[in-house]
Amino acid sequence: MSTISTTDYRGIYHFSPKEKWMNDPNGMVFFKGEYHLFYQHHPFGTTWGPMHWGHAVTKDLVTWEELPVALAPDEHGMIFSGSAVVDWNNTSGFFDDEPGLVAIFTHHQEVPNDHPIQRQSLAYSKNSGRTWMKYEGNPVLEHESFVDFRDPKVFWHEQTKEWIMIIACGQTVCLYHSPDLKDWTLGSEFGAGIGSHDGVWECPDLFPLAVDGDASQEKWVMLVSIGADPAFKEGSRTQYFTGDFNGITFVPDEASHTVRWFDHGRDNYAGVSWSDIPAEDGRRLFMGWMSNWMYANQTPTEGYRGAMTIARELTLEKRDAEVLLVQRPARELEQARTAVLSLQNASIRQVSEQLNTLRLVNYEIYAEWASDQSVQFALRSGSDNETLIGVDASQNEVYVDRSRSGISDFHEHFLGRHAAGLKAVDGNQHVRIYVDYSSVEVFANDGQAVITDLIYPDEGSKGISVQSENKDLVFASLHIYELSPIRAEGQSE
């Protein structure tokens, strides 16, 4: 018997802890054939509380094995967000014969009648993250003026042969460098007067990507999440910048002087990237926390709270003369597919007839049609619910409308329609939609515009339908796949 309950909104192919609270992904790293996900975790409650690092591993980016808590609070405070690296050259001196993992995280210490202190610390593991030692010299980095000084993302910079740390410091990010992960020097600060400052800056990330796959045209991408401020009904969101980085300073491109959102839904926050091969040609993967601080503590799940997005692959692509950050589902998700429907050059009437026979919850739809035509799908639909996902060609936008998607009374701003503009679509529109027990993730214009939204429909809402004003519309292709976790051989149900 499967242990997956179908009534608690737990995603079938998304990671959630078996029990209790989860927020940000931390320390994403690939080591010895395993992808590690550490995460902000409160092991004793289903709302945010004293933060630990939970831990899960996967070999295929779909089927996760939850492991014991990796890091627990200590005399320096709670364990807030951070990153993990493989110290291949033993720069830290923590290792003997074999390289191991080093976690760099924020120690968050509550101070009675004053604001908390946030300092950066280290822990290391010699057994693939199964057990950890905190460094006795903790904390390794503090700052006298920033109250918010957290979420270190560390990576090795081959050109300068140093570790780089990008860390949120109030309403900017600070860029430090170090030879050994212990001794950090401030190189520069970025962010004053640029980007969105609608909330506190959190969880920054910085990584290089080749533009259109051409390594000679490398650009650096910076992600910065901004916390929920009650003045903005969007809640917490993530923005991105593109530019150049020389090991000390990040110089943004002209295009980065306009705010660019990483995801146009409400539920992709504090996400981080990582690389899966310890070489320059490794692809850049990404996962985010699928919630929003505006209502994260109130979502209607029982026994656990919090889920991650699917793993995504990031690329930089020139579209309409602008370099855009493009997201596509990690290719491993294809292994989770079971084909349900596969149509080519099918009329909307034909497609509708087929869709009307389906009742599905956890699936992927891929649809392709002429980009000057508007199309709307109604998913997870039943007598009282439906989630509308479509492309409005007249506005050149893709949208998710969760106004009738199910339970919404836990927050006044949960309901609504979220849209993203589409850049230069020639010929065909390509839309890929991932649906699970409590989420939709839409990748439009082949990954240029992304919308990630939570939904809480009735258990019986499994219908799918499609409509267009053009009764003669033809889908160049339409595929539906049911998605289930990949079971490793010998793994029991």
Catalytic positions, written as ranges: 24
* Residues contacting ligand FRU: total by CB under 6 A: 12
Q: Are 431 and 366 in contact (CB under 8 A)?
A: yes
| Alpha-carbon gap, residue 418 to 367, rounded angstroms | 20
| Alpha-carbon gap, residue 326 to 455, rounded angstroms | 24
φ, ψ (nearest 5 deg) of residue 352: -60, -45
Is 234 a residue that touches ligand FRU (CB under 6 A)? no
| Alpha-carbon gap, residue 491 to 139, rounded angstroms | 41
At closest approach, how far in Å is the CB of 202 from ligand FRU? Answer: 4
At closest approach, how far in Å is the CB of 248 from ligand FRU? Answer: 24
Q: Which is nearer to ligand FRU, 271 or 485 (CB)?
A: 271
At closest approach, how far in Å is the CB of 426 from ligand FRU? Answer: 38
Is 381 a residue that touches ligand FRU (CB under 6 A)? no
Q: Which of the 8 DSSP states describes residue 356?
A: H
At closest approach, how far in Å is the CB of 387 from ligand FRU? Answer: 25
Is 150 a residue that touches ligand FRU (CB under 6 A)? yes
Q: Which is nearer to ligand FRU, 228 or 360 (CB)?
A: 228
Which of 28, 37, 51, 209 is the binder for ligand FRU (CB under 6 A)? 51
Cα pseudo-dihedral 16, 17, 19, 20, rounded to 10: -90
| Alpha-carbon gap, residue 130 to 408, rounded angstroms | 39
Q: Are 236 and 414 in contact (CB under 8 A)?
A: no
Amino acid at 338: T
| Alpha-carbon gap, residue 153 to 135, rounded angstroms | 18
User: Omega of the bond prior to 139 within 30 degrees of 0, cis?
Assistant: yes
Q: Which is nearer to ligand FRU, 105 or 163 (CB)?
A: 105
At closest approach, how far in Å is the CB of 381 from ligand FRU? Answer: 32
Is 287 a residue that touches ligand FRU (CB under 6 A)? no
Q: Which is nearer to ligand FRU, 292 or 362 (CB)?
A: 292
Which of 91, 92, 106, 438 is the binder for ligand FRU (CB under 6 A)? 106
At closest approach, how far in Å is the CB of 150 from ligand FRU? Answer: 5
Is 81 a residue that touches ligand FRU (CB under 6 A)? yes
| Alpha-carbon gap, residue 226 to 485, rounded angstroms | 32
Kindly identify the residues of this chain, within the stretch 472-491, that bind ligand FRU according to CB under 6 A. Answer: none
Q: Which is nearer to ligand FRU, 132 or 289 (CB)?
A: 289
Q: Which is nearer to ligand FRU, 150 or 430 (CB)?
A: 150
Residue ranges of E strands in 11-161? 20-31, 34-42, 52-58, 64-71, 78-86, 101-109, 117-125, 133-134, 149-157
| Residue among 149, 138, 144 nearest 74 (CA) | 138
Binding mask 157-196 for ligand FRU (x = CB under 6 A): ----------------------------------------
What burial class does residue 281 get, using C-beta atoms within 10 Å of its C-beta: 0-12 exposed, 13-18 middle, 19+ buried?
A: exposed
| Alpha-carbon gap, residue 254 to 322, rounded angstroms | 10
Count Cα atoms within 13 angstroms, Cβ side, for 463.
Answer: 17
Which of 23, 273, 299, 374 is the binder for ligand FRU (CB under 6 A)? 23
Which of 87, 162, 202, 386 is the binder for ligand FRU (CB under 6 A)? 202
Contacts with 441 (C-beta within 8 Å, 6 or more apart), sequence order: 265, 309, 310, 329, 433, 434, 450, 451, 452
At closest approach, how far in Å is the CB of 9 from ligand FRU? Answer: 21
Is 205 a residue that touches ligand FRU (CB under 6 A)? no
Contacts with 445 (C-beta within 8 Å, 6 or more apart), sequence order: 319, 398, 422, 423, 425, 429, 430, 431
Q: Which is nearer to ligand FRU, 106 or 438 (CB)?
A: 106
Residue ranges of E strands in 126-247? 133-134, 149-157, 162-169, 172-178, 185-190, 201-211, 214-226, 237-245
Q: Are 1 and 493 in contact (CB under 8 A)?
A: yes
At closest approach, how far in Å is the CB of 221 from ligand FRU? Answer: 19
At closest approach, how far in Å is the CB of 168 from ligand FRU? Answer: 7
Q: Residue-wise over 102-129: b if at least 16 C-beta within 10 A, else e?
A: bbbbbbbbeeeeeeebbbbbbbbbbeeb
Which of 31, 53, 64, 80 is the binder for ligand FRU (CB under 6 A)? 80
Which of 24, 205, 332, 441 is the binder for ligand FRU (CB under 6 A)? 24
Kindly identify the residues of this chain, within the stretch 450-469, that bind ligand FRU according to CB under 6 A. Answer: none
Which of 203, 308, 326, 450 is the binder for ligand FRU (CB under 6 A)? 203
Which of 61, 164, 166, 270 is the binder for ligand FRU (CB under 6 A)? 270
Q: Which is nearer to ligand FRU, 106 or 121 (CB)?
A: 106
Is 387 a residue that touches ligand FRU (CB under 6 A)? no
Interacting residues toward ligand FRU by CB under 6 A: 23-24, 40, 51, 80-81, 106, 150-151, 202-203, 270
